[in-house]
């Protein structure tokens, strides 16, 4: 399996890693995890629990963009260090994003989110970029 495909797998796991502090907060803040109505319980979270929930939701939102970018690069046979670098950089930004969100470091979180989004968009544009570079 290629590095970008491994990164898609890791990005999928990060969605659920982002959920772990949410479950802990639900247990701590409300006297137990309400498995009958967890979304309503999550909506009442504050502090770290609320930030962890927002980070989890953002992880879900970013995943399709990243997966689409990797698939666009793969299906058009754009390989090499550039695609690998973008995929690894995306994973690094997502890990930092979670850590910054959990610690309430707002501008740092926004900065790494922007870099991660740029990675997704560049992966999507990689076939066009390759075409421009090899165009006669």
pLDDT in tens, the chain (136 residues): 899 999 999 999 999 999 999 988 888 877 788 889 888 888 898 999 999 999 999 999 999 999 999 999 999 888 789 999 999 999 999 999 999 999 999 999 999 999 999 999 999 999 887 776 666 5
Provide the residue ranges of all domains of the chain, joining segments of one domain with +: 3-131
Reduced to 3 states (helix: H, G, I; strand: E, B; else coil), residue 11 is helix
Between CA 78 and CA 56 the distance in angstroms is 30
Question: Other C-beta atoms within 10 Å of 8: how many?
Answer: 21
- Fold type of domain 3-131: 1.20.120
Write down the pTM of the prediction. Answer: 0.90
Between CA 88 and CA 122 the distance in angstroms is 13
């Amino acid at each position: 399996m290629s590095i970008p495909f491994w990164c898609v797998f890791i990005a999928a796991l990060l969605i659920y890693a982002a959920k772990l502090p949410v479950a802990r907060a639900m247990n701590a803040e409300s006297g137990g995890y309400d498995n009958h109505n967890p979304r309503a319980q999550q909506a009442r979270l504050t502090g770290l629990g609320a930030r962890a929930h927002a980070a989890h939701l953002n992880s879900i939102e970013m995943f399709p963009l990243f997966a689409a970018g990797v698939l666009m690069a793969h299906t058009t046979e754009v390989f090499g260090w550039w695609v690998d670098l973008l995929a690894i950089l995306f994973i690094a930004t997502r890990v930092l994003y979670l850590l910054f969100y959990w610690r309430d470091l707002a501008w740092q979180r926004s900065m790494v989110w922007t870099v991660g989004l740029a990675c997704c968009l560049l992966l999507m544009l990689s076939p066009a970029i390759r075409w421009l570079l090899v165009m006669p």
